A and B are shown apart, each in its own frame.
Chain A
Amino acid sequence: MATLYEGMFLLDNQVVRTDWARAKAVITDALTKHGAKVLTARRWDERKLAYTIRGRRRATYLLTFFELGGDGVNGMRRDLDLDERVLRYLMLGVEALPEGELEKSQAELADGFTVPSPPPDEDTAEEESEMVEEAPAAEEMAPEGIDAEAAAALEGN
């Protein structure tokens, strides 16, 4: 007996930047491979992560609803665990498809619908530049401080 599942998949932005359809196919193909019937699949959001996952600070969320029998769950989990393009996933059994979900998913399939390209991982670049800027400043400050202490010690003697 097939169960209705809600699946949230965290996709690597590098894959999304190349082609959204291909990124979406990564998930839908993995689902159909194990006998799932994909009812909806849409981009939920692209956002900054609360913490880094596999070195990524931003990622794209794909929300899907699918029907799957109990036999395919373990195999699908194994495939998703091994796929490097999928950073995280969450699958929950749900009672029914939420209202409006089908329309939102179909709107993504309509002609002229474009998924905005994810912004670059700016945070990592900013942090690296900050570290480079801070490092020389610390080196410059250290000798002055040491000199001042040494001078004070000499004066005291």
Chain B
Amino acid sequence: MAMMDSRSRIPLKPIATRNCDDPLIDYKEIDYLAKFLTPQAQIHSRKRSGFCAQCQRQLKAAIKRARHLGLLPFVG
């Protein structure tokens, strides 16, 4: 079943697909990481990002590392 936006009823597509065998998501790839943040700089859910559980955990760690170094905001 396609994921729906509760307000607009427009089906949301996952942001990206990723092969789990790829190298780890790096905290230095800021443009890539920024795609998985909302305008308020919250991390998108797995449903929205389209990642598996392992990749989502990698994404979370990378975003939090980038935030620590001032590369990404905590709050948008």
Question: Which residues of chain A have a CB within 8 Å of any CB of chain B?
Answer: 8, 10, 44, 47, 49-51, 53, 59, 61, 87-88, 90, 92
Contacts and interface: CB of A to CB of B under 8 A. Distances in A.
B65 A44 contact: no
Nearest to B65: A90
B69 A51 contact: no
B28 interface: yes
B59 to A, nearest CB: 16
Contacts of A49: 70
A63 B27 CA distance: 12
A141 B38 CA distance: 38
Interface of B: 27-28, 65, 67-74
Contact of B70 (A44, A50, A92): A50
Contacts of A8: 28, 69
A50 B73 CA distance: 5
Contact of A50 (B27, B28, B72): B72
A88 B55 CA distance: 26
B69 A10 contact: yes
A50 B71 contact: yes
Contact of A88 (B69, B72, B73, B74): B69
Contact of A61 (B69, B72, B73): B69
A44 B67 contact: no
Contacts of B28: 8, 44
A50 B68 contact: no
Contacts of B70: 10, 49-51, 53, 59, 87-88
Contacts of A59: 70
Contacts of A87: 70
A55 B68 CA distance: 15
22 contacts: A8-B69, A10-B69, A49-B70, A50-B67, A50-B70, A50-B71, A50-B72, A50-B73, A50-B74, A51-B70, A51-B73, A51-B74, A53-B70, A59-B70, A61-B69, A87-B70, A88-B68, A88-B69, A88-B70, A90-B65, A90-B68, A90-B69
